[in-house]
Amino acid sequence: MRIWALGALLVLSCSPTAPPPRASSAPPKGTTHYRVGDRVEYQMTGEFSTAPVRLVETVVAQQDNRLRIDVEISRGDEKRSFAQVLTDTPENQENNVIDALYELGPDGAATQLDPQKDLMRVYEWTLIKPDGKATEVKNAKCDKTFTDRSYECVCTTGRNVWHGRPVRFENAFCPDFLWTHGPARFWDEASGADILRAEVSGASHVDVAPKPFEPR
Q: Give Cβ neighbours of residue 159 (< 8 Å, ≥ 6 apart).
A: 134, 135, 136, 166, 167, 168, 169, 189
Pairwise pLDDT comparison (29 vs 50), residue with the higher score:
50
| 39 within domain boundaries | yes
pLDDT, tens digit, 9 for 90 and up, residues 30-78: 578 899 999 999 999 999 999 999 999 999 999 989 999 999 999 999 9
- Asked if residue 157 lies in contact with residue 184, where contact means CB atoms within 8 angstroms, the answer is no
| 127 within domain boundaries | yes
Which runs of E-coded beta strand occur in 14-96?
Answer: 39-45, 53-63, 66-75, 78-87
Q: Give Cβ neighbours of residue 95 (< 8 Å, ≥ 6 apart).
A: 19, 21, 22
Using CA atoms, how far residue 26 sits from 66, 141, 157, in Å, is 10, 33, 34
When divided into structural domains, the chain yields a total of 1
| 210 within domain boundaries | no
User: Which uninterrupted H or E stretch holds 12?
Assistant: helix 6-14
pLDDT-above-70 percentage for the chain = 81
Residue 208 confidence (pLDDT): 58
Asked whether residue 23 carries a pLDDT value surpassing 50, the answer given is no
Helices and strands per DSSP (H, E), number in the chain: 3, 11
Residue range of the domain that includes 58: 6-204
- Asked if residue 156 lies in contact with residue 133, where contact means CB atoms within 8 angstroms, the answer is no
Asked whether residue 17 carries a pLDDT value surpassing 80, the answer given is no
Residue 30 confidence (pLDDT): 59
Pairwise pLDDT comparison (58 vs 24), residue with the higher score:
58
Residue 12 confidence (pLDDT): 36
| 83 within domain boundaries | yes
- Asked if residue 171 lies in contact with residue 143, where contact means CB atoms within 8 angstroms, the answer is no
Asked whether residue 85 carries a pLDDT value surpassing 80, the answer given is yes
Average pLDDT, the chain: 84
Cα 154–chain centre separation: 16
- CA 57/CA 19 separation, integer angstroms: 22
| 90 within domain boundaries | yes
pTM: 0.82
Q: What is the CATH number of the domain that holds 191?
A: 2.50.20
Half-sphere exposure of 99 (CA within 13 A, CB side): 16
pLDDT category at 209 given cuts 50, 70, 90 is: low
Residue 3 confidence (pLDDT): 36
Residue 19 confidence (pLDDT): 36
| 51 within domain boundaries | yes
3-state DSSP percent of the chain in helix, strand and coil, to 5: 10, 45, 45
pLDDT, tens digit, 9 for 90 and up, residues 129-164: 899 999 999 999 999 999 999 999 999 999 999 999
Residue 91 confidence (pLDDT): 86
Asked whether residue 22 carries a pLDDT value surpassing 50, the answer given is no
- Asked if residue 86 lies in contact with residue 98, where contact means CB atoms within 8 angstroms, the answer is yes
pLDDT average, residue stretch 170-191: 95
| 159 within domain boundaries | yes
| 1 within domain boundaries | no
